Amino acid sequence: MPITVQTLSDAVARSHARIERLEDQLNAADALLGDGDTGSMLARVIEKMAATDLSATSDIGAAFNALARAIMSATGSSLGTLLATGLLALAKATKGRSELPWIELSGLIGQAIEAMRIRGGASLGDKTILDALQSVAQSLAGITNASAAADVANAAASGARAALEHFKPLPCKIGRARLFPEKSTGAHDPGMLALALLLERSDLPESSAACLLKTVP
């Protein structure tokens, strides 16, 4: 099965079902370094995305565009703006397509990262959500059109988690957090943590997500 608008709707619905229970943990991760609102912001953003009716279109680009607009209507935060920027890049790249083979996903994420890098000014290695997305794109590079949906989901989840663990002991090099390297060293970047937890396989035992949450200092 290729990627369709329904695939996007399903992904948003899964995130929506999960974000409420992650909100406090993500706020706590952000409070170590910033204003403690990442969880609440993402909950608001995902609520708006979930309320966006994508059923009227089969154009994947139009669907990405509608989701980006939903984000922008919900927040002006830097992470939210970055996410919208990524989705707008995906919208442009997929305009007019009603089906995307899975093998295109890794390259598409790469295009989103590039747009986000230009918009936000972060470089790969700065310990931001870009590093997590890059790791996801690398994991997905092994996917073929014959891969099962579960393989795709597992690859994405393991990519995000690998980045989270790799960067945990490193200091954040951008934004307010860069001013306090002693606070970010040993802590998860809230955006990377959000991606890892949202992609965590829901069919894994609950203890898996709980274990990841416990790593929040």
Binding site for Mg ion (CB under 5 A): 30, 34-35, 37
Burial 93-122 (b: 16+ CB within 10 A, else e): bbeebbebebbbbbebbbbbbebbbebbeb
Contact in structure between 46 and 194 (CB atoms under 8 Å)? no
Nearest distance in Å: CB 166, Mg ion? 22
- CB nearer Mg ion, residue 5 or residue 26: 26
- CB nearer Mg ion, residue 77 or residue 106: 77
- CB nearer Mg ion, residue 183 or residue 201: 183
Nearest distance in Å: CB 40, Mg ion? 9
SS3 state at 3: strand
- CB nearer Mg ion, residue 23 or residue 37: 37
Nearest distance in Å: CB 149, Mg ion? 33
Contact in structure between 105 and 143 (CB atoms under 8 Å)? yes
- Residue 213 to residues 40, 92, 134, 170, 173: CA-CA distances in angstroms? 16, 35, 22, 18, 23
Nearest distance in Å: CB 154, Mg ion? 30
CA–CA separation, 75 and 137 (whole Å): 26
Nearest distance in Å: CB 33, Mg ion? 8
Joined together, the tokens standing for residue 1 give 């099965």
Nearest distance in Å: CB 38, Mg ion? 5
CA–CA separation, 94 and 6 (whole Å): 15
SS3 state at 69: helix
